[in-house]
Chains A and B, each alone.
Chain A
């Protein structure tokens, strides 16, 4: 910036401003939702819409406070982050979510396993995906057959446990 400032280099924090905006949006959604509730306050005068409104106004206040701290540059320094590993894990979780009911627990979770390992530096997916599927299958067997949890079965599970 070309403006001479006498302050020490405390700069505006755009990311924190986005947080402030996000908080305001959440507050707005809550106020909008509470407006359509029939307010059956009864004797108390406090109905189902009251607490969401109080929380929404609290969030609005915090949004303003956040904006002030953001403009004054009061937010702490953020640790450096590499985007690629984070995206690998998000991709793994998304893949598991979408494949779960199609491919069954073991295959879907095996892919999550391999992608997470990829994020932490094990890049050989040809090795980690089968490993992950094998491990997830063992876990599936223990939890669905022994501990009776309801875990979705897919082709692999049906192949080995035809009754599942």
Chain B
């Protein structure tokens, strides 16, 4: 492929790709997410074999895509052009699907999703309640593209936002657009991305960096890898636009080492982007140079923390440093380094492409756009969902998530795993909103929503979170290292019903010291789940002292 040197060339390439594609050619889109295939390839092989067997080579495509979202019903497939959706597909179903649906154009009833509440059949994704209430501006692209094919991404308008930014806008204008859209960081803090970009842009330095944080170490959070593995070009496009706005010529992608398919898709995407001239010198003839390097986390939670991550890119052990100066001013090699997470970067192309005014029309007062959420725990439909900010937790848990399994009652909704907070069932009408939820003590975090049913003991849950953090703390600063150890000791005792008088007060004191005196976010927010559960479930802590036995 020759490199593309102008907006006109990009449009021509896109037109040629679209013209070459026959919209009526049958295609079986198999979800290649880990929840659907679990590391196996037998479903893909079964379809390929069956196509050969029925002499349909070249007439039917098989597309292995990123996560479709509905992991609970996986493996999921969608058959184009009719967009027929089958769930829980097994390799032995391939023969029937090809002969009856792809060739015969009839529906295989037993593979169609049935709404357990109404008994109604849902032949298309849009009819399934799980998908119906979502607004899938980002995730919706996943079933439509092969993440290994840049042509698929170009066909749906890929890299046109980059062309617009580089060729029609000044860097300052790109920055203003992102600021106006009030894009807030999706990695946990909800800090306005535009302000961070501005800090990095204004920092006086020749060399600056932009970083995509794809570490996603928070247990129960898996939406970033769903979009990164399924649509890597989207994130790459966002990162290049960010580099342009900030004045950085070098980008870094920091991602997981333990997901070979994710890494493979990123590498293939970067190479294709380089061949097409979206990365490299004089991108699209604009005079802007930009390159991207991939770094891998090697298995420790704290390396997702911004300053630790930057040290890791420098080749050092990822210990956080005190942030007297922001990393946007002094980060990698003491140079301005703007870090945002995968989902934040994924939002950038649509903000530039469709404009801040369009973006401001989605979401709540203070939180704009959509949010990807991964549902896990005691919930019927676990999986990845995308909803506009402002959607109530009730809609997410019940309408989309299908409620609590085994006829149990909801006890709490937990966000942000070991550094987040829990809301009791009574607060189910709370809207998904950075500020509202922060005030209630359960910050959205990265977007892992964990559901607990009535059988859950909050004391035991918090003990579990501390056990995780005790393992993952880097051990550099005392309040975190020793504080977690002491809190874990107390909670272990309490979870066995052997709490002592004064334990709750000691916990509160340790929480306070840890949150004030720790070096990084890991130590500072260790206390969050304990604070929130003491706020809403204090009786359980008290019971584990008085009654000499956990309430649940």
A-B complex is real: no
B residues neighboring A (CB under 8 Å) = none
A residues neighboring B (CB under 8 Å) = none
